[in-house]
Amino acid sequence: MEVRPHLVYRHDRDSQLKITQSCNGMSSIRAGDAFDLIEELEDHSVDLIATSPPYWGLRDYGMAHDESVLEQWRSTGCEDTRVPHYDWYRSAGGRLGREPFPTWYVAHLVEFFNKARPVLKDSASMWVNLGDTYFARWGSIRDGGRQGLASSRGRRRTPSGGYLHDKQLLMIPARFAIAMQDAGWILRNDLIWAKPQVLPRPEKDRLRLSHEHWFHFVLKQKAGRPQYYYDLNSCEPGGLDVVTCPTEPGSSGHSATFPSQLIRPRILSSCPPSGVLLDPFCGTGRAVVEAVRGGRTGIGFELCEPFARVASKAISAAAKSSSTGQDSTALAPAQRRKKAASE
Ligand SMILES: C[S@@+](CC[C@H](N)C(=O)[O-])C[C@H]1O[C@@H](n2cnc3c(N)ncnc32)[C@H](O)[C@@H]1O
């Protein structure tokens, strides 16, 4: 696949500037909005999307968000129950993950993944990682910490009403998965990522959230049952849909980083050798790095320029050590066992 230079939006969205892009063979990180960058990929060019979009209402990744977006929407005469397209929302100063309602957030995610559908090969898979959150009219926005402590906090303003009620667990991952099914995606697994250690919480009237979801979607075929690449031997021993895995510290200030141990089996099982992985919300690039280490081509999109730079450096380093043959962690579990036995 050709990797083309491109223009991206800077944070103020008014000026379009060329910014850094790194290429290792064909692996690359592109800084910009995934909703724009996805249009640059060729149709039927990607084997696997593995990603974790910003969760709803949890953190800001250092990006400005205009809290007046709902008032702006109302001033156009639209009801809160109608969802603006992402383009309108963005031009009104909105950020993905900071939508005033979970319905808007879910609709924007589905809008993105539908936009991404043409770039997927018919045999492709998509793994989407999402976590849940509780409703609070004045919820905290964090700039750090996967459910962890923040170095600074903002406040999210969410109108209550209906199921949006204080203390409500919002079931956002489930709402997303059902909306994707309604949009024509086939859900193959709801893998539960169980986190053995989570930070203490002050609440005394509920259990602590200690799991997230990994949804595995595939495509409907023009005729017949879905058919897609899958190598069960590269999954965790036992092949169960609950995987216990500790969180991993993030790099360079990014705290919502995939644990390598969890993303690697998703890549090796769902992206063929030499295939192409795309992480459209790649942060500091953990999935892209694991793809490169596993002999796949990795492409990452990231809106936040500093994270994109870190990801670029990380894939350069991964490409270097893979080409020098130093890296055996990228091998599938079965291959690793074989290699260890022969040593
Ligand atoms: C949950 S984090 C992903 C972390 C990543 N999985 C890792 O291992 O580092 C979501 C990322 O999406 C980025 N992001 C938010 N909105 C975006 C957009 N519209 N386009 C591209 N990236 C975006 C955020 O800056 C953040 O780094």
Task: Kindly state the tokens that stand for 37.
Answer: 């960058």
Domain-embedded: residue 230:
yes
Mean pLDDT confidence for 55-82: 88
- Give the domain extent around 148: 24-342
Domain-embedded: residue 12:
no
pLDDT at 6: 35
Residue 62, classified by CB atoms within 10 Å of its CB into exposed (0-12), middle (13-18) or buried (19+), is middle
Greater confidence, 256 or 144?
A: 256
Domain-embedded: residue 237:
yes
Look-up of token digits 């005033």: 100
290-328 tens-digit pLDDT: 999 999 999 999 999 999 999 999 999 998 887 766 554
CA–centroid distance, 191 to ligand 1, in Å, is 21
Is residue 283 predicted with pLDDT exceeding 70?
Answer: yes
Residue 123 three-state SS: strand
Task: Kindly state the tokens that stand for 282.
Answer: 């790649």
pLDDT at 186: 98
Domain-embedded: residue 7:
no
Domain count within the chain: 1
Is the CB–ligand 1 distance for residue 59 below 6 Å?
Answer: no
Residue 339 φ/ψ, nearest 5 degrees: -65, -45
Domain-embedded: residue 14:
no
CATH of the domain at 57: 3.40.50.150
Residue 213 falls in which region: left (phi positive, over 0), alpha (psi -120 to 50) or beta = beta
Residue 106 three-state SS: helix
Is the CB–ligand 1 distance for residue 147 below 6 Å?
Answer: no
- Residue pair 268/234 in contact (Cβ under 8 Å)? The answer is yes
Is the CB–ligand 1 distance for residue 256 below 6 Å?
Answer: yes
Domain-embedded: residue 155:
yes
d(CA 226, CA 127): 16
What average pLDDT does the chain have?
85
CA–centroid distance, 61 to ligand 1, in Å, is 8
- Residue pair 251/289 in contact (Cβ under 8 Å)? The answer is no
Domain-embedded: residue 32:
yes
DSSP one-letter string for 55-76: PTTSB-TT----TTHHHHHHHT
